[in-house]
């Protein structure tokens, strides 16, 4: 291997690693706030990429229908609950949030798709169609069992993952899609060629990480999410409802997932089931951080990206094996170095 290839692999690894880092952060966030191991994270990646691909072909993406149906389902669940608790006044707000808004987004997509708007608008539309699915999935699948054990929540995640993969096949078919790059620019830097798309990926990831940091440090809702992660009972006592925190964390996770999908769609061909492997690599990164530490999770995910790049060069047949084997030494190291921390603050 000469230095040119080594540098190329680093660029490749960092680009993928940036995506994995975003996904790892989302997984840590969702787990900390709701104790859900968010396996369907990858489906949001695939949905984001494939929704954008459909829009570029001028077709109405299947996710628009899904948004409509999921919104309807949530509206029914919420209305039944409101009636049972005698809170009829809540129903108009429910109808607005879960029927009128998804309905308007559906109409917007239906009207805009055939006109093939500019790429930025397409990306925005794809995000608008996919991201609201996050809180809806939380409301339908997780909220009724929010106090169940981590294992039960994991089983729900597996079920949601299979359901979403199946729906992906129905909506997008078995063929893969690749979208055109955001930028065709290339820069020569010594022996290395830097592609505009990798800069887009790394830049957007960094921007999103900084935005998340500001959100958690400086906004009342960010603080509320941190509080829920630290002490659920305390959060309830100051009026932070676990349902609100759950929906908010799932919205962020869906946003991160869909945006990651949009970013990698020009780099690799995405199939309806590609999200799972991408998400799983983010998960390996999150495990390096013990599902609690954001910076270590992000660093772990970058390591996964680099390892994957070098593995695909030296032993491409064993690429996935090598990446996922990383988890064994990490788990051994963690079990040896992590001492049990008392949850009790007193």
Partner 1 sequence: MSALLEVRGLCVAYGKVEAVHQAALRVEEGRIVTVIGPNGAGKTTLLAALMGMLPARGSVSYAGKDIARIEPEQRVSRGLCLVPERRELFAAMTVEDNLVLGAFHRYRKSDPTIGADFKQVYQLFPRLQERRRQLAGTLSGGERQMLALGRALMSRPRLLMLDEPSLGLAPLIVRDIFRVIGGLRESGVSILLVEQNARAALQVADYGYVLETGEIAVEGPSADLVSDPRVIESYLGLVSGGAG
User: Interface residues with partner 1 (CB under 8 A)?
Assistant: 85-86, 220, 223-224, 226-227, 230-231, 233-241, 244, 344-346
Q: How far apart are CA 148 and CA 218, in angstroms?
A: 31
- Closest CB to partner 1 among 86 and 329? 86
- Closest CB to partner 1 among 336 and 341? 341
- Closest CB to partner 1 among 220 and 317? 220
- Closest CB to partner 1 among 100 and 230? 230
Q: Would you give the end-to-end CA distance of the chain in angstroms?
A: 56
CB of 85 to partner 1, least distance (A): 6
- Closest CB to partner 1 among 68 and 244? 244
CB of 245 to partner 1, least distance (A): 10
- Closest CB to partner 1 among 224 and 252? 224
Q: List Cα–Cα distances, 194 to 2, 198, 265, 314, in angstroms.
A: 17, 7, 18, 22
- Closest CB to partner 1 among 4 and 217? 217
Q: How far apart are CA 311 and CA 318, in angstroms?
A: 7
CB of 337 to partner 1, least distance (A): 20
- Closest CB to partner 1 among 175 and 345? 345
Q: For 152, left (φ over 0), alpha (ψ -120 to 50), or beta?
A: alpha
CB of 221 to partner 1, least distance (A): 9
CB of 344 to partner 1, least distance (A): 8
CB of 225 to partner 1, least distance (A): 11
CB of 237 to partner 1, least distance (A): 6
Q: Are 130 and 255 in contact (CB under 8 A)?
A: no
Residue with tokens 């996710």: 63
Helix-helix angle 242-264:119-130, to 10 degrees: 150
CB of 296 to partner 1, least distance (A): 16
- Closest CB to partner 1 among 175 and 346? 346
CB of 232 to partner 1, least distance (A): 9
């Amino acid at each position: 291997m000469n230095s040119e290839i080594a540098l190329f692999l680093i660029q490749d690894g960092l680009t993928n690693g940036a995506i994995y880092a975003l996904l790892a952060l989302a997984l840590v966030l969702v787990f900390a706030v709701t104790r859900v191991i968010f396996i369907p994270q990858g489906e949001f990646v695939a949905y984001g990429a494939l929704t954008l691909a459909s829009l570029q072909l001028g077709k109405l993406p299947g996710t628009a229908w899904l948004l409509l149906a999921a919104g309807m389902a949530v509206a029914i669940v919420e209305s039944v609950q409101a009636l049972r608790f005698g809170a009829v006044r809540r129903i108009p707000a429910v109808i607005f949030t879960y029927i009128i808004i998804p309905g308007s987004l559906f109409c917007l997509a239906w009207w805009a798709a055939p006109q093939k708007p500019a790429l930025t608008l397409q990306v925005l539309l794809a995000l608008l169609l996919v991201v609201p699915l996050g809180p809806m999935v939380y409301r339908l699948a997780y909220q009724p069992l929010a106090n169940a054990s981590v294992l039960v929540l994991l089983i729900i995640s597996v079920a949601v993952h299979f359901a979403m993969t199946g729906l992906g096949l129905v909506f997008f078919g078995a063929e893969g899609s690749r979208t055109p790059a955001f930028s065709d620019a290339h820069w020569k830097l010594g022996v290395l060629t830097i592609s505009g798309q990798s800069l887009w990926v790394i830049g957007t990831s960094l921007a999103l990480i900084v935005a998340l940091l500001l959100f958690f440090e400086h906004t009342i809702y960010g603080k509320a999410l941190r509080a829920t992660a630290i002490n659920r009972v305390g959060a309830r006592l100051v009026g932070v409802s676990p349902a609100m925190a759950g929906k908010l964390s799932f919205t962020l996770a869906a946003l991160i997932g869909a945006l990651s999908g949009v970013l990698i769609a020009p780099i690799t061909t995405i199939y309806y089931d590609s999200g799972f492997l991408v998400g799983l690599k983010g998960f390996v990164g999150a495990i390096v951080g013990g599902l609690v530490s954001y910076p270590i999770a992000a660093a772990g995910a970058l390591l996964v990206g680099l390892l994957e790049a070098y593995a695909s060069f030296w032993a491409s047949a064993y690429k996935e094996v090598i990446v996922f084997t990383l988890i064994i030494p990490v788990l051994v190291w963690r079990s040896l170095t992590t001492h049990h921390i008392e949850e009790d603050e007193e």
